[in-house]
Structure 1
Amino acid sequence: MAPVDWSREWLTPWHVPGESLELAARRTSTAAALLQAAPPGLPRFVPHDHLPTGEAYEAFIHRTGTVPTRDNLHDFFNGLVWLNAPQAKRRLNRLQAGEIARTGIGATRGPLRDALTLFDENGAVLDAPPALWQALVARDWQRLFVTDRALWQQSRLLIFGHALMEKLVFPRKQATAHVLLAPGPDPSIANDDAAIAAALDATHLATKPFVPLPVLGVPGWWADNTNFCFYDDSDVFRPRRSPE
């Protein structure tokens, strides 16, 4: 595994458990380190070869209460989220397994499984003032990151997706989170496990209620964005599509 820079702002919520866990994983294995750190009641972490050929990963976790784990950053971050957001991860797994049982494994996942996978891999949650939400949903990047920049001091963005965490080990300007809009009139989701789990409503998720957010644009997360020309890159900070 490539070394993780735990001083990065997007890893602040994960720093304390993650740094010691990384050291343990390097001494033994990712599965062993996660298993040692897991409190009672969490799924057990096992080497990836425990997953039978032909059985869906999420269905296996639900059936056995074990998480197949490889020695790489992708599975390391997945395990880190399991340890620290178990209610949300259980909810995701329960919904995935339910859909697999209902429809089987086919060429496409379907809208609900697509949304579950997107959030699990690349999701984030935001707790922010309404003005920032309005700018984000409108893809009004200048308002979001320049005009209303000071409002980020009242905000919290939590990177939840383990694949996104892996990508950000080598940060690139294009790295984009899919921020989950909460069901109901207030789109914010508090950055705690129970609140995230409660927002994972199957009917709501099937509508793909996500807004893209290039994470290196967040004030304080990347030195280059102090120069506001950073946001002029339309390949990254794309305008909202017009309705067809």
Structure 2
Amino acid sequence: MDWGAAWLAPWRATGEPVAQQIVRGDTVHSALQTVLGAGRGGVRFVPQSDLPDGIAYEQFIFDTRRVPTRDNLHDFFNGLAWLQFPQTKRRLNQLQAQAIAADGIQAVRGPLRDALTVFDENGAVLQAPEALWDALRARDWQALFVDLRPLWREARLVLFGHALLEKLVSPRKPMVAHVYQAPAAIHSIADMDAWLAQALQPGHWATKPFAPLPVLGVPGWWPANEVPGFYADAQVFRPLRVASVA
């Protein structure tokens, strides 16, 4: 794992010690619990075998404050998210459990659970000048990444989704984050966590208030995006769809 990668910068101080313990032979849940410490974070990391058959994962966490954890990268990054964003992860879990209690487990998730899962797995938070947000919402990739490139020095992108972090262990150009807008006044990860947990309001969140962002197009995140023509790939940098009028 390349802890020098730009997207891992906010995660390194917490994640590298956990990874080192795993390399020395610890299980993922044990390494996470050691870094978490007793009585912190409101949850405990436990083996996946602690999850009883027939009990929904999110419901089990809500009821027991225990996070079933497998020995793989996906659950490693999920555990790091609990360490970095404890308030947000608890709020996501609360909303998932409430939806499960109300509607049960169905073949297709409802709009709220779907949106929560998308963000939990693949979300990110972007602080950026409004001009960058305007270009992103319009899918104007030329403006976003080329014409307005100097403005990215005033921006900060923090990945949240543990599946996205897992995929970026082997970076590929098509990888996309679902990005939520954060105010520029937030500086620390702890403050971002508190703000994001408060922002998780069901009515608003069910609308999927995200914008898709090909993360390896972010200036400074991948050397290949310095090459002319990088953003001309319409399979990755797709134009905004315009709804047809009947």
Tell me whether the two structures share a fold, i.e. TM-score over 0.5: yes
Offset of 1:181 from its aligned partner?
A: 4.0
- Shift in Å, 1:25: 2.1
Answering whether residue 10 of structure 2 is matched by residue 8 of structure 1, we say no
Instruction: Give the corresponding residue for 1:134.
Output: 134
Q: What is the 5 A alignment of 1:1-244?
A: 4-26=1-23, 27-39=25-37, 40-42=39-41, 43-181=43-181, 190=186, 192-244=192-244
- CA deviations over 1:151-204 (Å, ceiling 9, x no partner): 00000000100000000000000110000246xxx7x79452112212211111
User: Which SS does the other structure have where 1:46 is aligned?
Assistant: strand
- Kept after mapping to 1: 8 A contact 2:127/2:181: no
SS at match of 1:228: coil
Q: Distance in 1 between matches of 2:218 and 2:66?
A: 36
Asked whether the 8 Å contact 1:135–1:143 carries over to 2, the reply is yes
Q: Which runs of 5+ in 2 are unaligned?
A: none
Mapped partners of 1:44, 1:17: distance in 2: 16
Question: CA 1:20–1:41 in 2, change beyond 3 Å: closer, same or farther?
Answer: closer
Q: Which runs of 5+ in 1 are unaligned?
A: none
* 189 and 144 in structure 1: CA distance in 2 versus 1, 3 angstrom threshold: farther
Displaced runs of 4+ in structure 1, greater than 3 A?
A: 188-191
How many residues get paired?
A: 237
1:33-74: CA deviations, max 9, x gaps? 111111424200000011011111000000000000000000
Tell me, yes or no, if the aligned pair for 1:10 and 1:221 is still in contact at 8 Å: yes
TM-score by length of 2: 0.93
Q: CA 1:171–1:118 in structure 2 vs 1: closer, same or farther (change >3 Å)? A: same
Which amino acid in the other structure matches residue 35 of structure 1? Q
For residues 80-121 of structure 1, give each alpha carbon's deviation from its aligned partner in whole angstroms, at most 9, with x where no partner exists: 010111001001000000000000001111000000000000
Alpha carbons 2:126, 2:158 under 8 Å: kept: yes
